[in-house]
Amino acid sequence: MSPLQRKVWGWPRLKPLTVVSLCLWGTIAGSAQSIAFFWPEMQSIFESLALLFILASLALGYYCALLPREFTTDVRGRDTRIRVWIGDAFDAPGAVVIPFNNRFDADLSGVAARSKSLHGDLLQRYFSSDSGTLQNVIDGALQKQSLATGRAHPIGTVVQLQSGSRRFYLLAVTEINISGRAKTTVENVRRSLPLLWVDISDRGDKGEVIIPLLGTGHGRLAEPRSMVAELIIDSYLAAIGERNFCDRLTLAILPSDLHKGRTLRLQDLHDYLSAKCKYATFEAPPAMLPHGTPSES
């Protein structure tokens, strides 16, 4: 068994086993009853298959219970951790990084409210799909940062929003093309990450930060998801060499990103993260050098 399997597989967890099995069984039983209501002759067939349906529900629940959902690695030499989370970024506790267009346009001609993106989820979950309200909040935050509204800003610009107890970091990582759609490049992602860490360090709360695979969805990034994941890990490790501004960084990955045909393999990411955190090296600032250490002339 691989290190990842030993870490997150093991015995099936009771909650997903129970929830998935009951949901599947309820769906099958409800569908069977509906069909039997209109075609009574199907009732006896369903009754004969009841045991098979129960076993199938338990098998799927067992499989889902075994699926790895997360793994965490301590960073050598720093009081921080990096976690890989398989699931919705909004379901993890902490502040969420939201990839955004560099004009900080909340509506995008109605596209944002319909899109399956973190931008769209932010709009739907926290602003009742009211892009006007979100735009007003963004404009107010821009003005507090002495930034103009309604214009393009440099890639890497960060706007911080607060909704209740939850903080969001809107990161300008995409640009709007002539068709009104957001797009980005790997260079935009690479350039924006250090600026994000600086902003969190200077103005954010020292706690947990959740970051998705920037640009791999509606950003239309051509590069593979594995490359973006490694880029985020490398950038974060470089940033905490100067200042520890985050108790735990969570890299949120959608389950669909692990489907067959994707280049992102969980085992490979686990091995990469473990090696990077285990062998991370940080230079101590001059004031912290051990007494008697010779300085360069």
pLDDT of residue 276: 96
Please tell me whether residues 149 and 209 are part of one structural domain.
yes
Please tell me whether residues 49 and 85 are part of one structural domain.
no
CA distance 160 to 122: 13
Please tell me whether residues 61 and 91 are part of one structural domain.
no
- 263 domain residue, yes or no: yes
Q: What is the mean pLDDT of residues 131-148?
A: 95
Other beta carbons less than 10 A from residue 79's beta carbon: 9
Please tell me whether residues 31 and 151 are part of one structural domain.
no
CA distance 183 to 188: 10
Tell me the two tokens of residue 263. Answer: 């280049």
How many structural domains is the chain composed of? Answer: 2
Average pLDDT value over all residues in the chain: 83
Please tell me whether residues 8 and 123 are part of one structural domain.
no
Residues of the domain holding 36: 3-66
Please tell me whether residues 138 and 212 are part of one structural domain.
yes
CATH number at residue 174: 3.40.220.10
Lowest mean pLDDT of 69-83, 100-114, 156-170, name the range.
Answer: 100-114
Q: 39-48, 149-158, 180-189, 259-268: which has the highest mean pLDDT?
A: 149-158
- 264 domain residue, yes or no: yes
Please tell me whether residues 36 and 74 are part of one structural domain.
no
pLDDT of residue 281: 87
Sole residue written with tokens 């992102």: 264
Please tell me whether residues 227 and 152 are part of one structural domain.
yes
- 206 domain residue, yes or no: yes
pLDDT of residue 262: 66
Residue type, 48: S
Please tell me whether residues 142 and 123 are part of one structural domain.
yes
Lowest mean pLDDT of 2-6, 25-29, 248-252, 270-274, name the range.
Answer: 2-6
Give the residue from 66, 90, 120 where a domain finishes. Answer: 66
- 289 domain residue, yes or no: no
170 — pLDDT class (breaks 50, 70, 90): very high
Please tell me whether residues 154 and 231 are part of one structural domain.
yes
Whether 230 has a pLDDT exceeding 70, the answer reads yes
- 74 domain residue, yes or no: yes
Please tell me whether residues 80 and 58 are part of one structural domain.
no
Sole residue written with tokens 């969420």: 96
Please tell me whether residues 114 and 168 are part of one structural domain.
yes
- 295 domain residue, yes or no: no
pLDDT digits (tens, 9 = 90+) for 1-45: 444 444 444 444 555 566 666 777 677 777 878 887 788 877 777
